Structure 1
Amino acid sequence: MEKSMVKNMAINFSGLVLPTFVSLITVPAYIHLVGVERYGVISLVWTLIGYFGILDLGMGMAAQHQISKAHAANDPEARSRVFWSAIWLNLGTGIIGGILIYFGAFAYTAYVAHSSPAMQQEVYHALPWLALAIPIANVSWVCAGAINGVERFGIYNTNQTIGTFLFQLLPLAAAWKIAPNLQTVLAAAVVARVLAVIMLARASFKVLDIKRIEWPQLGVAGGLFKFGGWMLVATISSMITDSLDRILLGANLGARFVTYYTVPQNLVTRLNMLPNSLVRTLFPRLSAVKREHADAMVQQSLEFLNGVFTPIALFVMLVLAPFLHLWVGQEIAIASAPVGRILIIGVWLVGQASVTRIMIQSQINPATAARIGIVQLPFFVTALWFGIARFGPIGAASVVVLRSLADYGLLLWISRLHARPIAADMLMHLAFLVAGLGVAFVIDPIEYPLQSIAAAFVISGLNLGCSLLTRPALRSMARSFVHELNVRLKRRVKSTV
């Protein structure tokens, strides 16, 4: 795996981690200032705005794909045409979304959020700000796609992190200094988004060397819609699949079992930040290179992901129960830890499936990847219903893992990669995860937490050692990393002397 890609992956990972910490820190302050009910309404409103993100129509990813190709061909005029066509299209769909949310937000708050009459009045006053948020978000996705399309991840993540800080801290300051109501908080949030999109747009103009405003071109817009439409279908299919386990658990067993399932699920899915940073790094590069280079790149990326992600997954699997015990108490920890351990394997498989999925989307056809998700859906629902009815949350988690394994297998087969070495590497690491699952069930982690932590270090170390022994590319990468670290340490020591 190229050094530049590892560097870009580290940048993208940092860009995903930092906003997460900011969100965790600011949530208690928000609840203290605006109250539990008002914060709940704010969360629901932003969730609604997130759903309206489908009005992007996959244009952000489509623009990134086309700009990557134009950048590789050193064609600045094509980059500019794609950028402006995507901007105008997303601005138009964003305005439509803003009108829809303006008329639909009150009904959503009144009938779904079950808010009080006083809170409904606050929503009324905040409606213009909610409507404005949709086109702003749509434009920002195109700007983000453009910057990532030319692989300027440092610029993107810097702007994105600053934008996230503004989005979290400006409404908090407004609630503290002006008034702790919905209108003030949401207005400040929209102002923060406007500042963020201005920064992204300015960065886009700079990295794409854009000097003038252009109108959309019909041919370019048609290509963007064709690619983006199938990306949108894949996104919707993924959204449905990702929520079905909780919906069916609640329908079959009740809210208590949903809690036992979602507490570990929300925790372990944060491990996705590592594969997501790799996917964000790979997509523009795969869009720009020829097929033979893409094959080698994907194989190296999967080996790297297995070598780095598997030890982390193993460690988390074995320390999950003690952590849950400290975090949410013994009762929930006992019920949730087995579910979380199984879901870790699902998260690990989804990370690898994401790499093969973007290979298909960028090199073959995005429609193919979207159809795989649609075809699997009825089988997944049937298996999920049976698993929940017979085995409860453990059954739901097991079906999610089996579905992730089937998804990865199908994507690997359709991608027309050299599947045998990739599958062999995956199965070796999967065997470690299954062994780790067995160890976690044998040792009582709540009664013997120190033994669980010790076992986590041992089995993670064994897996890492096995990866370094069997994969020369990983050995070379590790040597380079140690050498560079040593050089930097020596320079630092000399500078301090």
Structure 2
Amino acid sequence: MVRNVAINFIGLILPTFVSLATVPAYIRLVGVERYGVISLVWTLIGYFSILDLGMSMAAQHQIAKAHAAGDADRRARVFWSAVWLNFATGVIGGLSIYFGAFLYTAYVAHSAPALQHEVYRALPWLALAIPIANVSWVFAGAINAMERFGVYNANQTVGTFLFQLLPLGAACFIAPNLQTVIAAAVVARLLAALLLARASFRLLGIRRVDWPQRRVAGGLFRFGGWMLVSSITTMLTDSLDRVLLGAHLGARFVTYYTVPQNLVTRLNMFPNAMVRTLFPRLSAIERGDAHSMVATSLQFLNGVFTPLALFAMLALEPFLHVWIGSDLAVASAPVGRILVIAVWLVGQASVTRILIQSQIDPATAARAGLCQLPFFVALLWYGIERFGPVGAASVVALRSLVDYTVLLWMSRVRAKPIALDMLAHLAFLIAGLVLAYLIDAVNHPVQTIAAALLLALANVEWSLLTRPAVRALASALTQKFIERIQSHLKARSDA
């Protein structure tokens, strides 16, 4: 499990570096306005991920169960039913985006006539991207259901490189216009989809094409529908803070909030890697084993993620001063420090949520999010009205704590030891928050980093002393590392 978490973590990090490296080249080649249109196009396609209707997660859940039972025929039935359903919804989405983008460009967007013409010529490619993306998610879900995360991330990384570099090459060697860049990007998506398809066919032993089955499709819709509700609720709660902040205080305060938020949410990659690893395994095992696995996973998450969060909290302000300048850093740092706690709590809640989705009922987790939403909006409104961006961040952190508490109660696990472990690590984070306010990080950066390291080490020591599972895991990993070093040294001496 640790190896799979590491593989998924690396798979989440690599695309970030590739994107950062290619953005300046894109802007230089196609210009600021065209790059803005391209960014809006892929954001729009991201919104159309709603057309997946939760099918990829539902397929992953069902395929993992069938694989654990050794039922290859059921695996194939689930796979093809999900593929055809997602292809159908993707075609509908492609037609919608074609006509919708045409009307938007013609009557709403204020673009030069030449740029509008480029958009019109790119629309067929844009429409084609939706069904390709929809079907790709099923292929990815099938591979993850088999817990072959190395295969998935290797193919995904190749696909990311293609998606970033092929359009760049097309802009450089063919023409730096929208239709060329978007066409190359869609071709890259198609090649990535074919790679994922080949891998999923091989892993599932697919030998022929089958049609969807009504009973299987109904089960996928029931499970996937509630997963979709959870996704929509999460999308709303993730964006409401910025929307309400802009409506109350204006764009300047949104910048104070968004800059640290975009930076801090990068920490989510580690719990996301754990969730990706755990979901198929939890779908396949018995309830008692699932509870034990989640309890151990939360201990592991606390033991690894809390020191990272502590270091990020204390190092945030000096980094912001170097990255964006003193004026913006002074306003953004207090917000970012509170959001570190919010991100940490979201990671805890995510693990508990997938236990409910895989073992109990996805409807339970979805209803929990829906019931909290109106209270969150009311508190967010009050927090922004009274305390501005810091108030918004505090409400987001409070909502994350409530969400985690509710999900832990609904998960039917032995909640007391898990909650006590969480509260102990939360106390370290609050201590780090107080320390960050007391230390002048800008004028004493060395002392700040030293304090961050000491507090992180104290948290690691606490985990090792109080949690036998973390201690055993650390011991096993250390032993394996020593054995590999010894084996490498022996091989060198023999050579």
TM-score by length of 1: 0.98
Correspondence list, 1:233-382, <5 A: 233-382=229-378
Contact kept, 8 Å, 1:68 with 1:150, in 2: the verdict is: yes
Does the alignment pair 1:79 with 2:75? yes
Task: Tell me, in whole angstroms, the C-alpha distance in 2 between the residues paired with 1:406 and 1:317.
Answer: 22
Q: Which residue type is aligned with residue 103 of structure 1? A: F
1:145-194 residue CA offsets vs partner (Å, 9 max, x unmatched):
00001111110010011001100110011111111111000000000000
How many residues align? The count is: 493
Which of 114, 117, 121 pairs up with 1:121?
117
Contact kept, 8 Å, 1:155 with 1:203, in 2: the verdict is: yes
Correspondence list, 1:180-199, <5 A: 180-199=176-195
Q: Secondary structure at the match of 2:440?
A: coil
Give the match for residue 55 of structure 2: 59
Return the offset for 1:494.
2.2
Return the offset for 1:110.
5.7
Give the match for residue 219 of structure 2: 223
Does the alignment pair 1:36 with 2:32? yes
Q: Which residue type is aligned with residue 449 of structure 1? A: P
Which of 105, 130, 138 pairs up with 2:126?
130
Return the offset for 1:107.
3.4
Give the match for residue 85 of structure 2: 89
Give the match for residue 174 of structure 2: 178
Q: Which residue type is aligned with residue 358 of structure 2? A: S
Could you list the structure 1 runs, at least 4 aligned residues long, displaced by more than 4 angstroms after superposition: 109-113
Return the offset for 1:113.
5.4
Contact kept, 8 Å, 1:94 with 1:138, in 2: the verdict is: yes
Task: Tell me, in whole angstroms, the C-alpha distance in 2 between the residues paired with 1:30 and 1:384.
Answer: 38
Q: Secondary structure at the match of 2:369?
A: helix
Task: Tell me, in whole angstroms, the C-alpha distance in 2 between the residues paired with 1:82 and 1:451.
Answer: 57
Task: Tell me, in whole angstroms, the C-alpha distance in 2 between the residues paired with 1:57 and 1:90.
Answer: 8
The verdict on how the C-alpha distance between 1:113 and 1:149 changes in structure 2, with shifts beyond 3 A counting, is: farther
Task: Tell me, in whole angstroms, the C-alpha distance in 2 between the residues paired with 1:100 and 1:115.
Answer: 21
Q: Which residue type is aligned with residue 485 of structure 1? A: F
Task: Tell me, in whole angstroms, the C-alpha distance in 2 between the residues paired with 1:38 and 1:417.
Answer: 52
Contact kept, 8 Å, 1:310 with 1:463, in 2: the verdict is: yes
Task: Tell me, in whole angstroms, the C-alpha distance in 2 between the residues paired with 1:239 and 1:400.
Answer: 13
Which of 454, 457, 464 pairs up with 2:460?
464
Return the offset for 1:109.
4.5
Correspondence list, 1:477-492, <5 A: 477-492=473-488
Any unmatched runs of 5+ in structure 1?
A: none
User: What is the RMSD of the two structures over their aligned residues, measured on CA atoms?
Assistant: 0.9
Q: Secondary structure at the match of 2:300?
A: helix
Task: Tell me, in whole angstroms, the C-alpha distance in 1 between the residues paired with 2:447 and 2:108.
Answer: 46
1:231-290 residue CA offsets vs partner (Å, 9 max, x unmatched):
001101110110000000100000000001000000000000000000000000010111
Task: Tell me, in whole angstroms, the C-alpha distance in 2 between the residues paired with 1:65 and 1:496.
Answer: 46
Task: Tell me, in whole angstroms, the C-alpha distance in 1 between the residues paired with 2:371 and 2:104.
Answer: 31
Task: Tell me, in whole angstroms, the C-alpha distance in 2 between the residues paired with 1:387 and 1:116.
Answer: 42
Task: Tell me, in whole angstroms, the C-alpha distance in 2 between the residues paired with 1:478 and 1:109.
Answer: 56
Return the offset for 1:84.
0.3
TM-score by length of 2: 0.98
Return the offset for 1:450.
1.0
Task: Tell me, in whole angstroms, the C-alpha distance in 2 between the residues paired with 1:112 and 1:494.
Answer: 69
The verdict on how the C-alpha distance between 1:96 and 1:466 changes in structure 2, with shifts beyond 3 A counting, is: same
Q: Secondary structure at the match of 2:15?
A: helix
Correspondence list, 1:7-46, <5 A: 7-46=3-42
The verdict on how the C-alpha distance between 1:112 and 1:150 changes in structure 2, with shifts beyond 3 A counting, is: farther
Any unmatched runs of 5+ in structure 2?
A: none
Return the offset for 1:111.
6.3
Return the offset for 1:116.
2.8
The verdict on how the C-alpha distance between 1:112 and 1:51 changes in structure 2, with shifts beyond 3 A counting, is: farther
Return the offset for 1:487.
1.3
Matched residues, percent identical? 72
The verdict on how the C-alpha distance between 1:338 and 1:110 changes in structure 2, with shifts beyond 3 A counting, is: farther
Does the alignment pair 1:397 with 2:393? yes
Contact kept, 8 Å, 1:353 with 1:408, in 2: the verdict is: yes
1:42-61 residue CA offsets vs partner (Å, 9 max, x unmatched):
00011001111100100000
Task: Tell me, in whole angstroms, the C-alpha distance in 1 between the residues paired with 2:105 and 2:310.
Answer: 42
Q: Secondary structure at the match of 2:442?
A: coil
Give the match for residue 165 of structure 2: 169
1:449-496 residue CA offsets vs partner (Å, 9 max, x unmatched):
111111110100000100000011111111111111111112222222
Contact kept, 8 Å, 1:106 with 1:120, in 2: the verdict is: no
Task: Tell me, in whole angstroms, the C-alpha distance in 2 between the residues paired with 1:131 and 1:199.
Answer: 21
The verdict on how the C-alpha distance between 1:111 and 1:427 changes in structure 2, with shifts beyond 3 A counting, is: farther
Contact kept, 8 Å, 1:41 with 1:109, in 2: the verdict is: no
The verdict on how the C-alpha distance between 1:373 and 1:461 changes in structure 2, with shifts beyond 3 A counting, is: same
The verdict on how the C-alpha distance between 1:91 and 1:356 changes in structure 2, with shifts beyond 3 A counting, is: same
The verdict on how the C-alpha distance between 1:371 and 1:440 changes in structure 2, with shifts beyond 3 A counting, is: same
Q: Secondary structure at the match of 1:437?
A: helix
